[in-house]
Homo-oligomer: A and B are copies of this chain.
Amino acid sequence: MNAAHLHLASAPAPEFEVSGWLNAPQAPTLASLRGRVVAVYAFQMLCPGCVSHGIPQAKAIRQLFAPDEVAVLGLHTVFEHHAAMQRAALEAFVHEYRIGFPVGIDSPGEAGPVPRTMARYGLRGTPTLLLFDRHGVLRHSLFGRAEDLQVGALIGQLLAREREVADDPPCDGDACSLQ
- Check if A19 is an interface residue, CB within 8 A of chain B: no
Report the interface size class on chain A: 35 or more
Q: Give every chain B residue within 8 A of A52 (Cβ-Cβ).
A: 52
Q: Give every chain B residue within 8 A of A153 (Cβ-Cβ).
A: 64-65, 152-153, 155-156, 159
Q: Give every chain B residue within 8 A of A176 (Cβ-Cβ).
A: none
Contact B84 A93 (CB under 8 A): yes
Q: Mark A29-51, 1 if CB is under 8 A from B, else 0.
A: 00000000000000000111001
User: How far is A91 from B80 in the complex, measured between Cα atoms in Å?
Assistant: 12
6 smallest A-B Cβ distances: which pairs?
Answer: A152-B152, A156-B156, A148-B148, A84-B89, A160-B160, A81-B92
Could you list some 13 contacts between A and B, CB below 8 A?
A: A1-B66, A2-B64, A46-B92, A52-B52, A60-B149, A65-B153, A81-B92, A84-B88, A85-B89, A148-B149, A152-B153, A152-B156, A160-B161
